[in-house]
């Protein structure tokens, strides 16, 4: 049996295989339940309830467990008690505190972007087949999956910007050299 190369799409190379398989299972299960329900039954209520339950489990698991364990990212929404304003908070693992597995990283980002695309395709199918009632389930799925996709994308950008700023402010960084040169000129 061939050993897969590091970074290839083999769950056996994952640092957290159970987390990865649960993450992929929830992501795929909601889409499959919807597709099989659309094709093989007219029991909209049953398919709607099962799909929404799987979407909720996927949303929770991705947001609170898979994102943190697979790529070291986490996000949440906070509401300011006085004003009622809400803002998103992004958290990433400290640079150097953990190494992100390339396989986990690839699976995470591919599944994160592929599932909303699948739901858009299913929305088009529902419209073409004149199954407008089924579209309500797809809209809920799109809201949940796109929310996680946008939040983790922002979280990743925040993480990258934070690590760039940290490197720039260290003594070996550009800001440290410029600051040292300015202080040397001022006091020298």
Q: List pLDDT tens digits, range 93-136.
A: 777 666 778 888 899 999 999 999 999 999 999 999 888 999 99
| pTM of the shown model | 0.77
End-to-end CA distance of the chain: 67
Q: Would you state the pLDDT for residue 179?
A: 46
Please give the structure tokens belonging to residue 51.
């799909």
Per-residue model confidence (pLDDT) at position 158: 67
Assess contact for 1 and 97: CB atoms under 8 A.
no
Q: What's the pLDDT score for residue 116? A: 97
- Cα 122 from Cα 126, distance rounded (Å): 6
Q: What's the pLDDT at 65?
A: 94
Q: Which residues contact 132 (CB under 8 A, 6 or more apart)?
A: 126
Alpha-carbon gap, residue 122 to 93, rounded angstroms: 35
Check the CA dihedral 96-8-156-177 and report its sign.
Answer: positive
Regions of the chain short of the pLDDT cut 50: 161-188
- pLDDT on residue 14: 81
Work out the burial of residue 186: count CB atoms within 10 Å of its CB; fewer than 13 is exposed, 13-18 middle, 19 or more buried: exposed
Rounded CA gap, 94 and 6, in Å? 23
Helix (H, G, I), strand (E, B) or coil at 41: coil
Confidence (pLDDT) at 5: 67
């Amino acid at each position: 049996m061939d050993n897969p190369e590091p970074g290839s799409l083999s769950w056996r190379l994952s640092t957290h295989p159970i987390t990865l398989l649960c993450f992929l299972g929830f992501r795929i299960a909601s889409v499959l339940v919807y597709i099989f329900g659309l094709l093989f039954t007219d029991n909209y209520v049953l398919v709607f309830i099962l799909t929404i339950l799987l979407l909720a489990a996927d949303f929770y698991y991705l947001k609170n467990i898979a994102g943190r364990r697979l790529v070291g990212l986490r996000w949440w929404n906070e509401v300011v008690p006085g004003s009622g304003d809400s803002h998103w908070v992004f958290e990433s693992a400290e640079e150097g505190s953990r190494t992100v597995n390339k396989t986990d990283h690839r699976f995470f980002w591919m599944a994160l972007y592929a599932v909303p695309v699948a739901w858009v395709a299913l929305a088009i199918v529902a419209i073409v087949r004149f199954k407008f009632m089924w579209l309500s389930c797809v809209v809920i799925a799109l809201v949940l999956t796109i929310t996680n996709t946008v939040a983790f994308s922002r979280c990743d950008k925040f993480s990258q910007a934070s690590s760039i700023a940290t490197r720039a402010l260290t003594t070996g960084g550009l800001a440290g050299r410029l600051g040292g040169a300015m202080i040397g000129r001022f006091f020298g």
